[in-house]
Structure 1
């Protein structure tokens, strides 16, 4: 059983995309990041960077005690190795996928996250910051669009953890100031993944979590979400 410590954000969706595709049994443990659940001692014991997602594999392959893993890229790689799915066995093909996974966690996610912050959440509009991150978002979309020219998926012909890592960050393209019409290869890829049954299920799960909790962002929630209230 996989215990998934989760909230419906792009990084959280990455893991439900994998789990639904692979058919692994899992249980969601909601981490309400607007209420500070990420700072609770039990969560910090498995995710010391106080960020979700994190998992606990109660039945790891080595037969040992439950194994906890944090960081979405590491989780995707672990689950791929555990199941033997969505990560090629061939060395060259494997590293094609892994380099794009690391590209996402090191670039696409952080830069688009800053785009989201300054465009949607910052208490004051800072034109320089907005322009900087919208422009970088456009550049990264262009990199991904070029990679998808002549390829069905990011790593090649097969759907992999690189696609699962990138897709959730493109879902909010309109809020990021992007039009997929400007990136035709990316648009086709995005539409194909959106139609996968596991993708639909993963996002239904996210919506069900949103329905269960109060997502109102009052001043206290903003302080928690954006660091002012981070506990040391």
Structure 2
């Protein structure tokens, strides 16, 4: 019976992909990886660096093992590790992803000098006074008056939006885009049920909330959406 390979090397236009079996022992895997790379390595000082992507399957490496695999690959001429990916994640990463996918509901007034920040979506039942700041890794929904600073998608989510019952912010931020409050509305005019989002020109646009049904049809995790 032919022995199953623990290490499979596949060449692509972008470099090399290493598929490492997740059922064998780590020591056995590392030994075969060293043998395979040594047999396939070509020492040529003029040869450009080759990018290597390592796929671990359902094996989760410790930090030490992760560095050992990287060092083993780097020892071979002209090979550079691009990334090591796995189908499993740590408990800490799972908790972080869960927090980023949740809607945090807060019932309070954000006063001047106060900062409220959540990892996922924020549902604020209350006002944001001038000088107050709210930040979210996802979307921001304000059931009240927004007069302070709102920063949605603060970890780089361009699809994030900001909504408010009354939209009169001092500044809007989505991802890395910034937009100060438009001046075309009179101070006494209430701008009811509006939203802010990044358009195709990477500008923050403020519009009526109904446009989100078409722009972000999968916006909420609640049944029915907006």
TM normalised by structure 2 equals: 0.21
Structure with bigger strand share is 2
Higher helix share: 1
Look at both structures and tell me which one has the larger radius of gyration over its CA atoms. 2
Structure with the larger RCO, 1 or 2 (CA within 8 Å, 6+ apart): 1
Normalised by the size of structure 1, how large is the TM-score?
0.21
